[in-house]
Amino acid sequence: MSVKVRSVPRVWRERKIKYRLIGGKCPNCGKSFYPYRDNCPYCGFKGAKEVELPREGKVITYTVIRAPPADFTQYAPYPIALVELKDGTRVIAQLTDVNIEDIRTGMSVEAVFRKYREQGEDGIIEYGMKFRPLLKS
């Protein structure tokens, strides 16, 4: 089975949004969303502004992916969560640095920079934000 390789330019263009957790904020209705796009998904207003989103939040719900798409079979099983950030923005992201048995709804989490995947033996290594349990200091 061959792995479909994404282009280096596309990965490079997406790095700002993936590496810094950049979302959008609508100047019309005031709602924030992720990922960033020019049109607000709530009211349709064109002209949303880029904003750096809070890096802390809580798990609203989660699931464990046991039969993933072909490009991710080597990472299974892995948890995916709906995370509500401190400003109310909701993000779907993979959880990391946690045992699946320890994940709980309401668990406090923080965004961390991690490897998403590797595209074949000679492919691009993609990085981005995942969430881990919030470390108490």
Place of tokens 């401190």: 86
Model's pTM, two decimal places? 0.80
Report pLDDT digits (tens) over 12-39: 455 555 567 899 999 999 999 998 999 9
Q: How far apart are CA 90 and CA 6, in angstroms?
A: 26
The confidence band for 121, taking pLDDT boundaries of 50, 70 and 90, is low
Q: Where are the chain's structural domains?
A: 8-133
Q: Using CB atoms within 10 A of its CB, is residue 95 exposed (0-12), middle (13-18) or buried (19+)? A: buried
100 secondary structure, DSSP code: G
3-class DSSP assignment, residue 76: coil
Contact 128, 15 (CB under 8 A): no
